[in-house]
Amino acid sequence: MAGEGFMLSANTSLKNNKRSKKSRLKKFVNTTSNGQSELIDHKTATPEMLAEIREKLQTENKLQLRNKIIKTVLFLVAIIVVVAIVNRYFSKFLLNN
């Protein structure tokens, strides 16, 4: 008897999971990332639209890479400056003692 109740609750749980996945999928398909741009169905997108999307992504990736390089170089310069200042301070401090 106890086994039947367990299986019924498991079946009910599986049915509820299927329902929630379907509703989440509908909500996801009907929304966009920023709410202003329209959703593009890539199955029906024209080659021109795909080329435009590709170009936009490449431009964004180049800008992100450039920003990463600039930040890395500035970070390394800051580390070198700090090490030089610390080295100069400690070398004078050690020579005086």
> Taking a C-beta distance cutoff of 8 angstroms, is the pair 39, 29 a contact?
yes
Query: Is the per-residue pLDDT at 37 higher than 50?
Result: yes
Q: Are 49 and 40 in contact (CB under 8 A)?
A: yes
How many helices, marked H, and strands, marked E, lie in the chain? Answer: 2, 0
- 52 confidence band (pLDDT: 50, 70, 90): very high
Q: pLDDT at position 1, please?
A: 47
Residue at 18: amino acid letter: K
CA distance 2 to 20: 28
Q: Name the DSSP class of 55.
A: H
pLDDT in tens, 58-79: 999 999 999 999 999 999 999 9
The model carries a pTM of 0.47
Structure tokens at 61: 């990736």
In the numeric block, the tokens 């970070």 are attached to 75
pLDDT bracket for residue 46 (50, 70, 90): confident
